[in-house]
Structure 1
């Protein structure tokens, strides 16, 4: 079954809340949780989307209702909680 859930406009929660331990262009050590990736544009869209340089962890992350919730705040809260439960 295809994923019909689309990224929410002006959200970017998945580019802020989780840590990324793999290399990101211009961020060789990845990024820490709660800090926006430098490739998150002012429009809250990934500037690496569709490019081969986009980290595979980001490529595999797919929007779904459980993760994204009803609004940006719910998405940030869910992903922050998930990060805290899975760190270290």
Structure 2
């Protein structure tokens, strides 16, 4: 599946432990990434400074569901289940 334009759930729901430009220590689960635009697009997409974990994430119906709200809920659940 292709990323849903204007979703940004993967930039909010999961924690990211690696450094992100502007967020030296990464981010907590549920915290909005500083690199997420007002339109819910990654400002680092295609940029070599983008964390590897972000580049490796692929949109998938199992973790993204049918809507942005599904994605926030499912990714949040996965975060809780794996920590």
Q: TM-score range by the shorter chain?
A: over 0.9
The reply to whether residue 46 of structure 1 matches residue 42 of structure 2 is yes
Match of 1:27 in 2: 23
1:76 corresponds to: 72
The structural deviation recorded for 1:10 is 1.9
1:68 deviates by 1.0
The Cα of 1:26 is off from its aligned counterpart by: 1.3
The answer for unaligned runs of 5 or more in structure 2 is none
Match of residue 54 from structure 2: 58
Moved over 6 A (4+): none
Query: What secondary structure, in the 3-state scheme, does the structure 2 residue paired with 1:44 have?
Result: coil
> Normalising by the residue count of structure 2, what TM-score does the alignment of the two structures yield?
0.97
Whole-angstrom distance in 2 between the partners of 1:82 and 1:40: 20
Unaligned runs of 5+ in 1: none
Pairwise CA RMSD:
0.6
Q: TM-score, normalised by structure 1?
A: 0.91
